[in-house]
Structure 1
């Protein structure tokens, strides 16, 4: 099942995709709405957000880095998350802001010391993230700082949380990004350096994972700068098509 969280008619609702038509949603009371009638929220209320750097060998090569020998992980603030069809702000004066299409693993239960062979048992489902990065502020690809990866609005996520059992092989999914309709990035989850079981086993070896935690699993090669007005679509086979639009930063208002 594909699940969503949306705002509509002054309230927040749980919704599901109409079978065979991801452009329509059904509310619990039976009402069916078109995707343009609602405000999309992140499909999961965030807890801890883990992100992976250089988890695709082609991306590491693209950046002239050696593939890592253990996961390169960092944390993101929940302030970064926005929903499908929302606007991501490009800060004024920056030279290079790029998208990153990523498969997101959503944890479904409390988990500690999970062996690799049982890793999928703690997964609730999957969604799509577009983890924008402000390259200007990057000091170290191995440990991106907060201004690169925890800016407001810079991680669209959704539209759907797809149940684990509806994704038979999450390690063989096609990823694609388009900018204004032009394909700029492509890849497959099979090219991850550290696959989903390895990541869950690694994280849970030193900390407790909880339901609602999210793991952004990295992006393949094919990054390009984005500008205000660009429509960026990050899409993962069987999971969803996430749309975001770049907006220019507006001057801050004087405090009242």
Structure 2
């Protein structure tokens, strides 16, 4: 597994489990992580062992968001049958997708800032596996999706459930407050197309696992999600798909939320108001 990342001061990095090197030392033409997404999608990122630079230990890196600017931020609702049942929702026949604004995104460590209680007093946090697009594409078949995916990362998605319960047409507002999408510190770039079925996604609040499930139990797996939406619109490097949560957990100021995606990574953030 390789990783693409950025420091808090914007320096792009390439890494593996043993540490990180400056991205420019590995891909001289890449001045940003975005410049390397096509290499990640095509499998042409070099091995860190072959890069003429000293590794920096992960513990000594302060990570910011892995991209300075993401593209379209897609979310997929009700993508685990068990979660849909918990919400008394009917199992969808097609991906129940929505878009979030770029202003909702914040980097690893957050914080997750809850809106004033007169706007919402019922926010939940949801761990999700996210898929990052690395190459512009349209009408991609499921068998070709791996050629356009740059990598994967953990995210924490938030929902103002009380707003949503008043009217399902309020979904955009319920999902769009500032800091309502926390992205992980690194983009995981597998050396081979990954078998995601056994990957477990966990929502953890205050060190307690609130919900967990395996990707195999998604109604619409990640490759199908990308293929489906590529028939709706052109997908571009930096577009992100949050593929749904195994379960949501109410959060309050003082809580600490963690999303873990097995083999991919983890991200956490404190909750404040």
Normalising TM by the smaller chain, what interval?
Answer: 0.7 to 0.9
2:109 to 68, 80, 85: 85
- Residue equivalent to 1:246: 271
Q: 2:40: which partner in 1?
A: none
Change (3 A) 1:197 1:18: closer
CA distance in structure 2 between the partners assigned to 1:27 and 1:220 by the alignment: 35
The residue that corresponds to 1:47 in the other structure is 71
Aligned partner (choices 83, 90, 110) of residue 66 of structure 1: 90
SS, match of residue 58 in structure 1: helix
Partner residue in 2 for 1:106: 132
Query: Which 5+ residue runs of structure 1 have no aligned equivalent?
Result: 249-256
TM-score (norm 2): 0.81
Paired with 1:141 and 1:164, the residues of 2 have a C-alpha distance of: 40
2:3 alignment partner in structure 1: 2
CA distance in 2, matches of 1:184, 1:195: 22
SS in 1 for 2:6: strand
Partners of 2:164 and 2:170 within 8 A in 1: yes
Could you say what the CA RMSD is over the residues aligned between the two structures, in angstroms? 2.2
Give 2:13's match in structure 1, choosing from 3, 12, 15: 15
Query: Given the alignment of the two structures, is residue 124 of structure 1 paired with residue 150 of structure 2, yes or no?
Result: yes
- 2:270 and 2:60 map into 1 onto residues whose CA distance is 14
| Gapped regions of structure 2 (runs ≥ 5) | 24-52
More helix by share: 2
Cα distance change, pair 140–216 in 1 and its aligned pair in 2 (3 A): farther
1:163 to 189, 213, 229: 189
Please tell me whether the aligned partners of residues 146 and 193 of structure 2 are also in contact (alpha carbons under 8 angstroms): no
Q: TM-score, normalised by structure 1?
A: 0.86
Q: Secondary structure at the match of 1:67?
A: coil
Quickly say closer, same or farther: Cα 1:44–1:187, change in 2 above 3 A. farther
Change (3 A) 1:141 1:220: farther
Greater strand share, structure number? 1
- The aligned length equals 241
CA distance in 2, matches of 1:95, 1:163: 38
Take 1:162 and 1:144, find their aligned partners in 2: how far apart are those partners? Answer: 33
